[in-house]
Amino acid sequence: MSVRIATAPRVGWPYTLIAICGVALYLFPIYWMFTSGLKTSAEIFANPPTLIPQNPTLEAFAHVFARENVLRYLRNSIAIAAPVTILTLVMGAMGAYAMSRLRNRLVDVALVTVLMLQVFPEALLATPMFIIFRALDILNTFAAVILATTSKTLAFALVVLRPMFRQVPIELEEASRVDGCNSWQTFWRIVLPLMRTPLIVVGTLAFVQAYGQFVYALTLMSDQELQPATVGIYSFVGAEYADWHRVMAFSSVFVAPVIILFLIMQRKIVAGLTAGALK
């Protein structure tokens, strides 16, 4: 009796070619940004444009490090992104867990309301937040931008984490209570470890969104010493002139931490997104 071994279906070369073209099209702007930072000002405007720098130079990178305080801008971006990520994970995890366990129509109404509020663009919400934070006397501080950005990332965390918490069997919590755990211990020791991958996904995406914050940073902070890298890049572009090769060098330095973060966390992110899709 012969045994037939099931094998994965082969993907034809047209699909492989389409996938390669899609990835190349997606990555080309990043490649163009990095290579443009290695070009001279004259080569930036060459016609036809050069895909590979003819005389690569690090002058633009040296300029942004020595003259434009790029490290200060990066430090400010991280000083905003790190607290936003922590607040999003802490409040998002507790809020989503509570919403997953409460069987009440008001919870669904609250979740729909949160989703509807995300429709409003940041530019529309910046003015009301400016008035509120001015009354609280926290303008020109990291706290203003952190709170404003968390209001966006927290809503995303609630929407993503609530259905994931609902997948945790209630029997595990009941068993932990039989063993003497209170509600906080059950959440911290039993439920939260099972949510490690979804929390990593939410934390990574919240960090990236806060790291790239521009509208709230530009509106709520006028002190240049506190402004993040997104505002620093914006200052390169003037009404009549833009130093494009230095803009690209600054952008390359700014984007590098995000790319490294995604390369490190890519398996966790894919696993978390896939698990959410399957559930």
Which CATH number do you get for residue 189?
1.10.3720.10
The answer as to whether 238 is a domain residue is yes
What are the tokens at 101?
Answer: 């366990």
Rounded CA gap, 109 and 164, in Å?
19
pLDDT of residue 277: 44
The Cβ of residue 12 has, within 10 Å, a number of other Cβ atoms equal to 9
pLDDT of residue 1: 47
* pTM of the predicted protein model: 0.85
Structural domains of the chain, count: 1
Whether the CB-CB separation of 246 and 236 falls below 8 Å is answered with yes
The answer as to whether 6 is a domain residue is no
Whether the CB-CB separation of 220 and 133 falls below 8 Å is answered with yes
Whether the CB-CB separation of 108 and 260 falls below 8 Å is answered with no
Q: Which amino acid is at 127?
A: T
% of the chain with per-residue pLDDT over 90: 33
Q: What residues pair up with 119 in beta bridges, in sequence order?
A: none
Residue 107: give the domain boundaries. Answer: 55-278
The answer as to whether 11 is a domain residue is no
The answer as to whether 207 is a domain residue is yes
pLDDT (tens digit per residue) in 202-251:
999 999 999 999 999 999 998 889 999 999 888 777 555 667 888 899 99
The Cβ of residue 26 has, within 10 Å, a number of other Cβ atoms equal to 9
pLDDT of residue 116: 79
Q: What share of the chain is helix, strand, coil (3-state, %, to 5)?
A: 75, 0, 25
Rounded CA gap, 91 and 222, in Å?
29
pLDDT of residue 147: 94
Q: List Cβ neighbours of 243 (8 Å cut-off, separation of 6 or more).
A: 41, 236
The answer as to whether 29 is a domain residue is no
What is the full per-residue pLDDT of the chain (279 aa) written as tens digits? Answer: 445 555 555 557 788 888 889 888 988 989 999 999 999 888 888 888 888 888 889 998 998 888 888 899 999 999 999 999 999 999 999 999 988 888 778 887 888 887 777 778 888 889 999 999 999 999 999 999 999 999 989 988 988 898 889 888 888 888 888 888 888 888 888 889 888 888 988 999 999 999 999 999 999 998 889 999 999 888 777 555 667 888 899 999 999 988 888 888 877 776 666 554 444
The answer as to whether 50 is a domain residue is no
pLDDT of residue 63: 87
Whether the CB-CB separation of 232 and 73 falls below 8 Å is answered with yes
Which among 93, 107, 76 is positioned nearest to 217, based on CA atoms?
A: 76
The answer as to whether 244 is a domain residue is yes
pLDDT of residue 278: 44
The answer as to whether 40 is a domain residue is no
